[in-house]
Amino acid sequence: MADKTITVRQIASPMRRRGDQRQTLIGLRLNRIGRVARLPDTPSTRGMIAKVHHLVQVLEQPMEPGSDRRATATSGGKR
C-alpha cells in the first residue's frame, strides 16, 4: 500500500481557520493555494486530508508538468 501515491492540491487559504488546520496543510507539504503534492496513500495521509477536506482537492490522476486542467475545460467554447 505504501507504493501507491495520492495527489492533492490546495484550493483554499487557511486564513481564519484553526491553527491545527494550517499545521496539517504544512504536514501535507501544502502551504500556498495552487500547490500540488504527491503523497503516499496511507491511512494517516487520508486522515490528514479528511481533516482539511474543505481546503484541498484530491486529484484523480497525477498532474504532468505543463498541463493545465482549466485550459481543457474551456476549449471548444464560443468566444
Per-residue pLDDT tens listing for the chain (79 residues): 557 999 999 999 999 999 999 999 999 999 999 999 999 999 999 999 999 999 999 997 544 555 555 443 333 445 4
What domains sit in the chain, N to C, each tagged with a CATH number?
5-74 (3.30.1390.20)
- Judge contact between 8 and 16, C-beta under 8 A: no
Grid coordinates representing 52 are 482539511
C-alpha cell of 35? 500547490
pLDDT value of residue 78: 52
Q: What confidence score (pLDDT) does residue 73 get?
A: 39
